[in-house]
Amino acid sequence: MKMPRLMLHYLQHLPAELLPLVEQVADLATDLRWTWSHAGDALWKMMDPQLWEQSENPFVVLQNLSHERLEELNRSTQFKQQLDRLTEARNNYCECCGWFGDVHAEAKLKGIAYFSMEFGLGEALPLYAGGLGVLAGDYLKAASDLAVPVTAIGLLYQEGYFRQVLDGNGWQQEIYPYNDSSTLPLRPVLTHNGTWLSIPIELPGRTVRLHVWEAQVGRVSLYLLDSNNPLNSALDRGITSKLYGGGEEIRLVQEIVLGIGGWRLIEALGLAIDICHLNEGHAAFVTLERARCFREKRQVDFWEALWATRPGNIFTTHTPVAAGFDTFPRELLAKYGLIYAKDLGVAPDELVALGRRNGHDDNESFNMAYLAARTCGMMNGVSRLHGKVSQGIFQDLYPHWPECEVPVSYVTNGVHVPSWDSPWADEIWTHSCGKDRWLGTAETLAAEINKLDDATLWTLCGQERADLVRHARQRLRLQLGQGGAETEIINQADRILDPNVLTLGFARRFTAYKRPNLLLHDVERLIRLLSHPERPVQLVVAGKAHPADHEGKHFIQQWAQFAAQPVIRNHVVFLEDYDIALAQELVQGVDVWINTPRRPWEASGTSGMKILVNGGLNLSELDGWWAEAYTPEVGWAIGDGKEHSEPGWDGVEAEQLYHLLEEEIVPMFYDRDARGIPRAWVARMRASMARLAPQFSSNRMAREYVEKLYLPAAMTFQQRTAQGSVVAKELRLWDERLRRNWHQVHWGNLTVSAEKEGWVFEVQIYLGEILPESVQIQLYAEPAGEGVPVCEAMQRDASIPGALNGYLYRSHLRTMRPHTDFTPRCVAYHADACIPIENNLIQWWSGTATLSRNSP
């Protein structure tokens, strides 16, 4: 067993009789499955109750046990029996075939490599900044639960993201604690001869050597690249020092390390990978390195290698605005791309063009999302609405294509439910749906939850709310104490919040588009709402602003100062240092989760999904996931489902927010029957839990990725690379011929005649040196209402005398729509190509159609 460095040192000083015990405990403590499977909690508490309560991290508990305590545990029959049961349960979990093995046993999908700049698995491994990382962590946990063959690649940051402290004025201060790799639940990855695996990356004038660490996440391995190697220069040791730290150059080098270093790691480990899944465009360089390695192995050029490997690359974009993509200036690309272009076997200008909308514009920055789009076979957004928004963002890469045909699909995000459910909710779901409810399909869960009686659900709310109040008081005491508050002020923390009062939660990154201060639009009205004598409301707020976002810091300060007012001090609390641990406490205890982004800037959002399993209800803008989840039976919505840029619209939605709280939410919560149960409220809870919790789980998300994207992509990738990659060779030549001769395509006459229940279209087209088999002539019409576009392939009818590849194409179209809705177009076509993501050539007929005499 590979052990962390500190544990190896620790073991050297242990008596021999304790080694088996410590190794067995360390094996469990370094598997991050304990972050969501709480079967071992009693064991960790048995080791040291105080350490466990303080850290809730078994690896920390183990590291701080004395030899004397270990000897006591080694003599305890109860402890060793519990340890053996836990070990057996973990082994059974890892060895069973799981959902993927049961359902897709015959699938030829070998492996998925999942690349992300950040992973939020738990506080034991703080390598995340926010939603992107937490989503990546939830994805890995779901992949483990479902036995999907995933390997994850990321970076090990020496400092990670900042920790937040508020000063006496409520202003955010950033603290960067050091992540000592020797104390993290990680193992160094060793080569066959016992040395530490090192991955080389060539940078201008030097080679950087990256150490590799492994974090175990149940069945999934997460490999982390670390530049903090004594053989590197001081500058290069700092490449992985900070998550999203430093300037443009450090950011570019981090993305080179993640992408290029990540694929070199896969090669060094000898992993069989069909799919590279890019969680955002940060890792887009992996697609180039994958093609480079294929080129070397098969002795082909880069473009043929790209045609072979591209179908195996999938790009998930989380960005709702084009300005959010990582871009780098030409000078930086010249500095770092010159050497690498030579390795790829392409001219530097060709490499840079892959990341530009217009490859010939030297003033255009290099866009990592554009690089990903051009080198991946599939793209997807992270909600239904975000998929449509992304089609607009990427339309520049598909000129003249209708926005609805821009090749961006969607897989709506989900959350790993076992990581976010409260102990009380877990008990109810286990009793109703079984302990394996999130390990397979979830079709039966809704029916079981619908059987729960009102008293059970209302009791759940009270238990969870009481826990949240207790946690909030504990955190506030610590927060005030660290800030140097007087004892009297600290003791007041025990009087904040009330376990029987309607509790609202609002926590997220504080930035302008999320409108975190919309609730403060009318401060006096909010105070009246919170302090109502018969129907009081309380509010728990948390969140961080980016260190450079001064506007976001002002938002935080306003909330901190608002919460400090004596008149509502017991009704509002701002809890600093929002992280996974605090998020878990909040989502397990609030009655209503509020989210106020400016549509359509919330790509998905997952915080509101986390309350579903716990019986919480959402009050949110119709954006991201809530735009597809909302119905009046499961929660409340603000906005009108449209985009607004007018200055006064925030005021309109603030009024909606207050109105819903005052007229619907608060009265419904306090409208109790003779038993003290708010029946209408509980009905919404039940509907939300039953309908939404399974649908917006990472269980569903991971299964959808497998069946909608991975399996089709793997089949295409294997076809492209089979038999000496003959299909890739053919496609590369097809593409080159088309692009070389596309200018020769031009149209002749278009004649339309009416027939029963539709129209006959006849159009002339001259293809020049392009073979007719290389294109498809289509009739296209925009969607009618909310439908889908009409796209009908026309049939080649006859050759045009005297013309080189000139043909008459005909189509009989049954439709009630007018003929003017339909336009012929010529697009690239090959049975093995993905159009338009791999070839975006298109030419539309323009002119005036001739109606035949028998047309009405």
Rg (the chain; Cα; Å): 29
Task: Work out the average pLDDT over 6-27.
Answer: 78
Is the pLDDT higher at 847 or at 114? 114
pLDDT-derived band at 374 (thresholds 50, 70, 90) equals very high
Q: Which residue has the higher pLDDT, 559 or 787?
A: 559
- Domains by residue range for the chain, with CATH: 5-95 (no CATH), 98-410 (3.40.50.2000), 425-696 (3.40.50.2000), 736-851 (2.60.40)
| Single-letter amino acid code for the residue at 298 | R
68 φ/ψ angles, rounded to the nearest 5 degrees: -65, -40
Percentage with pLDDT > 90 across the chain: 85
Query: In the prediction, which pLDDT does 853 show?
Result: 60
Average pLDDT over residues 739-757: 94
CA distance linking residue 752 with residue 754, whole number of Å: 7
CB atoms within 10 A of CB 783: 11
- Residue 524 CA to chain centroid, in angstroms? 38
pLDDT value at 8 more than 90: no
Bridge partners (DSSP) listed for residue 343? none
Strand residues in 651-745 grouped as ranges (E): none
- Residue 393 pLDDT: 96
Q: Report whether the peptide linkage leading into residue 600 is cis, meaning its omega lies within 30 degrees of zero.
A: yes
Stated as kind and residue range, the H or E segment containing 503 is: strand 502-507
Q: DSSP string spanning 276-338?
A: EEEESGGGTHHHHHHHHHHHHHHT--HHHHHHHHGGGEEEE---SSGGGS-EE-HHHHHHHHH
**Dihedral of alpha carbons 289, 291, 293, 299, sign:** negative
Q: What is the mean pLDDT of the chain?
A: 94
Vertex 644 angle, CA 638 and 646, to 5°: 120
pLDDT tens, residue by residue, 642-665: 999 888 999 999 999 999 999 999
N- to C-terminal Cα separation, the chain: 82
- What pLDDT shows up at residue 285? 97
Q: Which two tokens stand for residue 508?
A: 């997220």
Q: Is the pLDDT of residue 3 over 50?
A: yes
pLDDT for 182-205, tens place per residue? Answer: 788 999 999 999 899 999 999 999
pLDDT at 855 over 60: no
Helices (H), 76-190: 77-95, 98-103, 131-146
pLDDT of 194: 87
pLDDT score recorded for residue 180: 83
3-state secondary structure 23-56: HHHHHHHCEHHHHCCHHHHHHHHHHCHHHHHHHC
Q: What residues pair up with 811 in beta bridges, in sequence order?
A: 761
126-140 mean pLDDT: 94
Burial class (CB in 10 A: 0-12, 13-18, 19+), 551: exposed
Look at 7-21, 165-179, 522-536, 587-601 and tell me which has the smallest mean pLDDT: 7-21
Question: What gap in Å lies between CA 618 and CA 615, rounded to an integer?
Answer: 10
Which band of pLDDT confidence, cut at 50, 70 and 90, is reported for residue 309? very high
Question: Does residue 856 register a pLDDT over 50?
Answer: no
- Reply yes or no on whether the pLDDT at 245 is more than 80: no
- SS3 string of 457-491? HHHHHHHHHHHHHHHHHHHHHHHHHHCCCCHHHHH
